[in-house]
Amino acid sequence: MNKKLTKLISSLLLTTMLAYTTPILAFTKEETVYSKINTKGENYQTIVSTHLNNKNEEQILNDLTDLINIENTNGDEEFKLDGENIIWNANGSDIYYQGESKKELPVECNIKYELDGEEIEASEIVGKSGKVKITIEYKNNDSHIVTINGKKQTMYTPFTTIAMTYFDNSQNKSIEAKNAKIINDGTKTIIAGIAMPGMQESLNISNKKIEIPSKVEITMETSKFEQNNIITFITPKILDENISFDKLNSLYKKVDEMQVASKQIEDGANALKEGTTEFSKKTQEFNNGMKQFEEGTNKASNSYKEIDNGINQVTKGSKDLKTGSIELNNGLTALSDGLSKMPENIEKLYKGSGTILAGLSDNKETNEVGLVTGVNALAGSLNETISNLEKSLTTMKTSCEEGITKLKQANSALNSVIATLNAETQSVQIETLKQIVKQNEEAIKEYNAKIQYINAQLKELNTKKVEGKKDISKITTGMKEVQNGVSELTSGLGKLNTASNTLPENLNKLVQGSKKLANGTEELNKGTTALSAGSKQMEQGLNTLKESSKILTNGSNALTQGAETINNGSIELAQGITTFNKEAINKICSYINSDIKEIAVRAEKLQELSEEYVSFTKANENTAKEVKFILITDSIKIKEEKSENE
């Protein structure tokens, strides 16, 4: 009878333990590492519970292990141990076994107690009163040397630790916690803290920008200090396995293309500025010459009475005019050749702005994603990550509810056994079973508290999701405004490109006009010769020359003003594009290609380290899929009160 009772109690205890460790996902091999640690955080016993999920209902399962004192915890299947090889006669069933491990844990825990500002040992603080501070600090010992942007860097497997404990409100008040959530149900206060040791170093983020916690701090006012067990859950699976970094890489490529195109536009604008400056200078020189010519013809007309005395000078002047017109024609021809490349430069400028616009917009033909869509895609990835976290919290809640159900079932069975033992008057077994029932009831309360905490986390996560959508909306709106600005710039450059195509033709007309001017001065020279024979004809010729010089001077003034306008516009355009390139394009490119790109590369590497950490003990290739750690810290209780309970 006692042997059967012992087996029944063992089964019930196993059911209770599995209720605490119900896996969220089923894999080929899963490990749950239970470590008992003292009040300083030092590990003194490690038990590894292993589940071999026999999906194909194999008769024999070959596994690897470095555990000692191995035993089957959920069946009668036998095994054979040959060194590190362990062979199970599974008979088509799943295998649950456990054993002890002497290996060091990947995450180290250190616990420090302070009373009224002075550090104190745990054995001395029990039962004391005053202001207590508890610091639970975690250290990540699982480091790796990886290559980031061509440099060797130290990174750590991304372990996340969740520490939970509770305090009696009748003995403690003003309970506060850093890097933790507090749940007060009126009779007790539950602390749930989170830490990510090694994450600050892995992401290479200054703690002045953001501090990633590696410890949990608890403070309180106590009248009689006692502490329950601190339960720490540790997992390397912090990152979503389905995160894709391809869209970020495409975004970086577009940013580089945008920066190159923006530089091309700036170079083209500067070339245009230099060309129009030279053109404006030459037209000003021509205009000065025309003013001198007009002044000369006016003086010749007004001084007609002296024309007879100066006829020879006029004849000589006409020859000089002929020579000047030829030089003018040659200068305009050279200017036409020099400006022939201006439309080509404007064309490059126009195409460069189009490259920027293409980088911002989607390309349907090549299926390339633009910067605006890339930002939206990133927002979608963030929303998906939040949704996955909500699913994980919901799954944890379901696991807690299942654990409550199993504990209640276990208590029901235990109460039945107690009733049977009452009839047989076995008082020792009855007291043991009642103690187990009481412990299960406490566990049910803890599960309910966890469910309340998870509900609060889901509510807070939903609030953050709404706030995140607002922030992403602001970013998307800003990127669209940049896109509209570049589109307007491209449109303006297109018009300038069209107008510049007619410039060579107009210059050619001016050259032809200068040729006619040269021919006219030839006729003028003949006229001055004829002037010697007839002053009347000379008077008429001078009047005609005076009117013609006015028309030519007016045309020269208009040409000079137009050249100056084009020059001023090209200077403003070059300055504007240079400013836009430095203050907008370069800043955007620098931001995306520095901080965001660096963090994204490190996050991708952390994802790889997370996926690679699947086993604490030995395992055959492709069999181990998941491992999690549960650290149980010794409680601190007043010995006298323990004796009374016993």
Residue 179 — φ and ψ, nearest 5°?
A: 60, 40
The answer to whether residue 530 sits within a structural domain is no
Separation between Cα atoms, residue 491 and residue 489, nearest integer Å? 5
More confident residue, 447 or 303: 447
**Residue 378 maps to a domain:** no
Is 206 part of any domain?
Answer: yes
The answer to whether the beta carbons of residues 636 and 225 sit under 8 Å apart is yes
Residue pair 88/95 in contact (Cβ under 8 Å)? The answer is: yes
Q: Which of 152-156, 381-385, 437-441 has the lowest mean pLDDT?
A: 381-385
Q: Between these two residues, 25 and 211, which has the higher pLDDT value?
A: 211
Its domain, for residue 164, covers 107-236
- Which of 198, 209, 190, 182 lies closest to 238, judged by CA? 198
Task: Indicate if the pLDDT at residue 587 is higher than 90.
Answer: no
pLDDT score recorded for residue 420: 82
Residue 2: per-residue pLDDT:
41
pLDDT of residue 586: 60
Looking at per-residue pLDDT, the higher value among 550 and 420 belongs to 420
| pLDDT over 80 (residue 207) | yes
Average pLDDT over residues 418-428: 73
Q: Is residue 595 part of a domain?
A: no
User: Tokens 């290996």 appear where?
Assistant: 103
Per-residue pLDDT, averaged over 263-276, amounts to 62
Tokens of 231: 């339960």
| Residue 240 reports pLDDT greater than 80 | no
User: Which residues, including other chains, have CB under 8 Å from residue 546's CB and lie 6 or more apart?
Assistant: 297, 298, 300, 301
Domain count, the chain: 1
**C-alpha torsion sign, points 304, 307, 308, 309:** positive
pLDDT digits (tens, 9 = 90+) for 154-167: 999 999 999 999 99
pLDDT at residue 155, rounded to an integer: 96
State the average pLDDT over residues 489-516. 69
437 touches 415 (CB < 8 A): yes
With pLDDT > 90 as the criterion, what percentage of the chain qualifies? 33
SS (H, E, C) 183-216: EECCCEEEEEEEECCCHHHHHCCCCCCCCCCCEE
Structure confidence at residue 16 (pLDDT): 35
At residue 18, the pLDDT reads: 37
What is the pLDDT averaged over residues 613-622? Answer: 88
3-state secondary structure of 639: helix
| Higher per-residue pLDDT: 457 or 30 | 30
Scanning 532-618, the segments in alpha helix (DSSP H) are 535-580, 586-591, 597-612
Q: Provide the CA 371 distance to its chain's centre, in angstroms.
A: 14
In a domain, 547, yes or no: no
pLDDT band at 178 (very low <50, low <70, confident <90, very high): very high
CATH, residue 136: 2.60.40
DSSP one-letter code for 636:
B
pLDDT of residue 88: 94
Residue 46 has pLDDT above 60, yes or no: yes
CA distance 412 to 437: 9
Contact present, 125 and 113 (Cβ < 8 Å): yes
Predicted pLDDT at 508: 74
Task: With cut-offs at 50, 70 and 90, classify the pLDDT of residue 481.
Answer: confident
Residue 527, pLDDT score: 65
Q: State pLDDT tens for residues 298-330.
A: 766 666 556 566 666 666 666 666 676 677 677
Residue 93 has pLDDT above 80, yes or no: yes
Look-up of token digits 């990633």? 212
**Residues 160, 204: Cα–Cα separation, whole Å:** 17
Question: Global pTM?
Answer: 0.46
Could you tell me what percent of the chain has a pLDDT over 70? Answer: 60
- Please name the residues in contact with 210: beta carbons below 8 A apart, sequence gap of 6 or more: none
Is the pLDDT at 218 greater than 50? The verdict is yes
Name the DSSP letter for residue 149.
T
Higher pLDDT, 129 or 392: 129
Convert 588-610 to b/e letters by CB count within 10 Å (16 or more is b). bbeebeeeebeebbbbbbbbebb
Residue 341 lies in a domain: no
131's enclosing H/E stretch is: strand 130-140
Q: How high is the pLDDT of residue 27? A: 39
In a domain, 592, yes or no: no
Distance of CA 16 to the CA centre of its chain: 43
Q: Which pLDDT score is estimated for 401?
A: 87
Mean pLDDT lowest among 46-55, 226-235, 302-311, 547-556: 302-311
Kindly indicate the confidence band of residue 423, based on its pLDDT and cuts at 50, 70 and 90: low
Query: So what's the pLDDT on residue 50?
Result: 96
The answer to the question of residue 419 being in a domain is: no
> Which tokens sit at 298?
């006016």
More confident residue, 177 or 591: 177
Establish how many alpha carbons lie within 13 A of residue 261's alpha carbon, considering only the half-sphere containing its beta carbon: 22
Q: What is the mean pLDDT of the chain?
A: 77
Mean pLDDT confidence for 290-296: 68
| CB neighbours of residue 89 within 10 Å | 14
Please name the residue ranges forming H helices in 303-367. 307-339, 342-360
Which range, 60-64, 559-563, 579-583, has the best average confidence (pLDDT)?
60-64
